[in-house]
Structure 1
Amino acid sequence: MKVLIIDDDPLILSVYSRTLSQKNFTALTAANGKLGLDTLTADTEISKILLDVYMPEMDAYGFMKAIQSDSVLSERYFEIYIVTSGEKEDILKRFFEDNIDMKYIRNILKKPVDLQMLTAALQL
């Protein structure tokens, strides 16, 4: 199973990637939403995405809007797990205010994320 990890922190990318690879996931990484969008567009086998909220160049809100407005990506099936240091209520409020479709979002995980919980969530 392919998982795309989108986060601007190189340490988080490394830890998540290594942890998921040990659990037999194929982990792909991107340092911001724009690079993540490029990877998602190029690889149709990605089924799960770990998405940091606050990143330079394109944050989670821009990423979600781009998926929503893309006729090909909006028809694909994948699950998004939001990973954030922010408050869940604030994230949900912003999604609502920006009219972002949340059909892909499976969970919002608070940093620091427990790696056992993360891998368990992705295996469901």
Structure 2
Amino acid sequence: MEVKAKKILIIDDDSRNIFALTAVLKAKKYTCLSANSAQQGFDIIANDQEIGVVLMDMMMPDMDGYQAMNKMQNHPEMKAIPVIAVTAQAMVGDKERCLNAGAAGYISKPVNVDDLVYQLNHYI
């Protein structure tokens, strides 16, 4: 498999989720960075121009994924980066809520790796 040029930024307050996603994606030859909060993710984006997509946990303390996507959409350097919402919320309407909030894609936990890779390949 060809190595991807762009990096994936995983923003999630749960280190277990970051570990699991990073392990799966590195095995698929993706380059991953991680942040434990939206603000930490913004700092990484500001210092790394190779971020191709963000996997955003929607339920985080301080700033949740909805607030983070809103901030990204209003920032000239971040608004072009696609965000895939990653959430344990799999209730009716949650996918639409994420997409309406600005997510380019949606994955529910537990993550279906094939679906995730399909979406990532669409944006990277």
User: Is TM (by shorter chain) over 0.5?
Assistant: yes
Structure 1 residue ranges (4+ consecutive) displaced by more than 2 angstroms after TM superposition: 71-74, 90-96
Gapped regions of structure 2 (runs ≥ 5): 1-5
Q: Is the 8 A contact 1:88 1:108 kept in 2?
A: no
Which residue in 2 is equivalent to 1:111?
A: 109
48, 57, 65: which is aligned to 2:53?
A: 48
Cα offset for 1:66?
1.3
Q: 1:24 and 1:90, CA in 2 relative to 1: closer, same or farther beyond 3 A?
A: closer
| Structure 2 counterpart SS, 1:70 | coil
Q: Is the 8 A contact 1:61 1:95 kept in 2?
A: no
Which residue in 2 is equivalent to 1:81?
A: 84
Q: Report matched runs for 1:1-124 at 5 Å.
A: 1-74=6-79, 77-86=80-89, 87=91, 89-90=93-94, 92-93=96-97, 100=101, 102=102, 105-124=103-122
User: Which of the pair is proportionally richer in helix?
Assistant: 1
Q: Is the 8 A contact 2:11 2:54 kept in 1?
A: yes
Q: 1:27 and 1:88, CA in 2 relative to 1: closer, same or farther beyond 3 A?
A: farther
Q: 1:95 and 1:119, CA in 2 relative to 1: closer, same or farther beyond 3 A?
A: closer
Cα offset for 1:94?
7.3
Q: How many residues align?
A: 116
The separation in 1 between residues aligned to 2:63 and 2:54, in whole angstroms, is: 15
TM-score by length of 1: 0.81
RMSD of the TM alignment (CA)?
2.0
Gapped regions of structure 1 (runs ≥ 5): none
Q: Which amino acid aligns with 2:59?
A: Y
